[in-house]
Structure 1
Amino acid sequence: MIISGWALYHTACFLAAGVGNLNEQRQEQFNQTLLNYVWLFIIISIIAGTIVYFYLTRRLLKPVRSLMHATELLKRGEYPEAITVSRKDEIGQLVEQYNELIEKLTKNEVERKKLVSDISHEFRTPLSNLNGYLLALKSGDITGDEQLFAALYQESKRLTSMLEQFDQLKKWDYTTSQTPYHKEKTAIHTLIQQCIAMFNWTLKQEKIAIDVQLEESSLSLHPEGIQQVVSNLLDNAIRYYQGTGAIYISGKVQQYQYIISITGPSENIPQMEQEKLFERFYRLDSSRSRETGGAGLGLAITKEIIDQHDGSITIRSSDNQNTFNVYLPIK
């Protein structure tokens, strides 16, 4: 800027010197006036440039400082509020991604606290029952009979079942793309038939008919995992069976995926509740689930396994029929 000012000044002086009708005094006066204006222009330009520079720098660094402050809070275990940003440049995109990260971390923290609370609640009831009865037996307030021992055994069995479900959930939670489970080419229709065979005695005892229609296909999958998926869904269909009619199980190839459908007569599930079914510990009817021994983990485990296979699961509930559809990619 200074160089430009001096260049302008000397150019003006050179042009003025070339005009023949200017005497030496007026030439000197002109040069001095021009020099003053040049200096004034330089000073004003420097001041204006400094103001603009600090304004732009402050505007640029404001979200960066907000990010630094937020990360400091995060280091201390606090979850900061989302940072307001209206910019569309790289800084704005960075802040938006940071806000998404904070939202996910906050959600995970809420779910973690809920999980701890739910685990405590789930174990407290059966343990309290066991401790109460055992203390009464020890003090002689009650005497043991076959019915009491059966009830105590049922509570113990429910605790064992929940522990097994926790173990299964942990197993699939730790499955990532970096540590995948071994998948192998498997005849999916045969695998489903094997799962159904394990429930034949239960179906006979409950006097429930079953209708099976399976198309043949081979998929790359984890056999134990998919077997658990089918078993969980069939177990639910039997456990919450209401009304009359058969349980329908079908498997069909549709484009590049294999669809497993399990339909059974049961109480309709409200639309608002359907998305929550796959959350951990979620139950439509706590008393009913406790009678049947459920802890609200079966469908969460099912969804986790399906996610690890790059598949999806949906539910359709109408006319007292609940249908679970599992979509597995054919690879």
Structure 2
Amino acid sequence: MLMKKWRKSLLPNEFLWRLTFVNIVVISSFIILSSWAIYHTACFLADGMSVMSPQKQNQFNITLFQYLWLLSVPTIFIGSFIHFYITKKMTQPLKDMIDSTKEMKEGQFPKRIEANSAGEIGQLIGHFNDLVQQLKDNEEHRKKLISDLSHEFRTPLTNINGYLKALENGVLEGDKELYRSLYLESKRLTSMLEQLDQLKEWDHISKQSFMQKEKTDIGVLIEQSVDMFQLLMAEKDMKASVQIEPQLVHVYVGGITQVISNLIDNAIRYYEGEGPIRIKGEVLNTEYRLSVSGPGLHIPDNERDKIFERMYRVDPSRSQETGGRGLGLAISKEIIGHHHGNIGLESNEYYHSFWFTLPISD
């Protein structure tokens, strides 16, 4: 215990100075021992030759000692300085990382750290920068999600509170139509909460990896999903063109059925124009591709990648009318990602095709 305390009090606190101190001790010890060996060897050899008088021998010893001393001291200082400079340059990213972690501890996101090498320290700094960027993206996404949720919940809650206040004050009289409006607003809130729970569930499934997959004919799943929307399409006077190839795939049936339903529901919900909704399932080499296409709202080029983000909607006002929450496509992206597939959008002005692919051999 006393030895540890003595060692801590002797060595500097900072890592760079500790490393430099140890290096100085090592260099000094090596040079002193080498000089000592050279000095005694030279003295021994000179003495053994017996060509010098004792006075000259003594003078030789003193001169050799002085030269070794004059050479050793500058070598120690120069070597220590070079070591300090190189070590400082190598460890500067680590010091920057320490400062960055302090900033993160205070709730701030630090700037990107520049790595001076491609070795282990460079890799460590690279991973640290990626981690900071990921945390920053997550924080921005969290703030946006909270803001969107606040906005989404505020409108129906305001409507419900307004109706209830009016009923309490006698401004309105309760009737069937009013109660239906309150019910629809309540159902709207419940629907949002259910979709958020689904997202949370899929996040949990992703982390725990306990998704139960099974071999099934995806063509049958598509046909069943299309049948579920036949009545709704008939009510809206819409037609569907369906072309499906059968294929066995290894999937989580409940999840893929939900994705298919989300894409068809999205095409119906935002249908605008003429022509049928085209649903096509086909085998492409080692993948199965399903596309749901139809006319709809214009989607700007810079918003096509964002359309699969949570709570994102191209036209919020239109989504309020159709009941869209900006969660269905986000859920679909999560599910397809867990199946090692891809999902995307192809758009041509007012005609859009949402698609996903699944590996056949997975």
Common fold: TM-score over 0.5? yes
Pair 1:152 & 2:182 matched: yes
The answer to whether the Cα contact below 8 Å between 2:115 and 2:121 also exists between their aligned partners in 1 is no
Cα distance in 1 between the residues matched to 2:278 and 2:84: 72
Query: Structure 2: how far apart are the matches of 1:100 and 1:319?
Result: 36
- Candidates 104, 108, 113, aligned match of 1:83: 113
Matched, 1:202 2:238: no
Matches within 5 A, 1:1-331: 1-13=31-43, 25-75=55-105, 77-176=107-206, 178-331=208-361
Question: Does the 8 Å contact 2:299/2:349 carry over to 1?
Answer: no
Q: Secondary structure at 2:335's aligned position in 1? A: helix
Unaligned runs of 5+ in 2: 1-30
Hey, what's the Cα distance between the residues in 2 that align with 1:319 and 1:97? 41
Identity of aligned residues (%): 49
| Aligned-pair Cα RMSD in Å | 2.2
1:82 aligned partner, one-letter code: R
In structure 1, C-alpha distance between the alignment counterparts of 2:319 and 2:54, rounded to whole Å:
109
| CA deviation string 1:226-261 (max 9, x = no partner) | 111011110111111111111110111111110001
Range moving further from structure 2, 165-174 or 183-192: 165-174
CA distance in 1, matches of 2:51, 2:228: 117
- Name the TM-score, length of structure 2 as normaliser: 0.84
**Structure 2 Cα separation of the partners of residues 177 and 84 of structure 1:** 32
CA deviations on 1:248-286 (whole Å, 9 max, x unpaired) are 101111111100011011133111010000111111111
**1:102 shift after superposition:** 1.1
CA contact (8 A) 2:93 2:116 kept: no
User: Aligned with 2:298: secondary structure?
Assistant: coil
**Pairwise CA distance, 1:119:** 1.1
Report the CA distance between 1:167 and its aligned residue: 1.7
SS at match of 1:280: coil
C-alpha distance in 1, partners of 2:46/2:334? 86
Moved more, 251-260 or 65-74: 65-74
Q: Is the 8 A contact 2:90 2:116 kept in 1?
A: no
SS in 2 for 1:175: helix
SS of equivalent residue, structure 2 residue 329: helix
| In structure 2, C-alpha distance between the alignment counterparts of 1:163 and 1:23, rounded to whole Å | 104
Distance in 2 separating the partners of 1:31 and 1:150: 111
Q: Which amino acid aligns with 1:290?
A: Q
Cα distance in 2 for residues equivalent to 1:252 and 1:65: 55
- Total equivalences in the alignment: 331
Comparing 309-318 and 37-46, the one that deviates more = 37-46
Instruction: Name the CA shift for 1:110/1:145 in 2 (closer, same or farther; >3 Å).
Output: same
Q: Distance in 1 between matches of 2:270 and 2:278?
A: 14
Aligned to 2:6: none
1:104-127 Cα distance to aligned partner (Å, 9 max, x none): 112111211221221111111011
Q: Distance in 1 between matches of 2:210 and 2:107?
A: 31
Q: Deviations over 1:93-149 (max 9, x none)?
A: 111111111111121112112212211111110110111012112212123445434
CA shift at 1:80, angstroms? Answer: 3.3
Scaled by the length of structure 1, the TM-score of the pair is 0.92
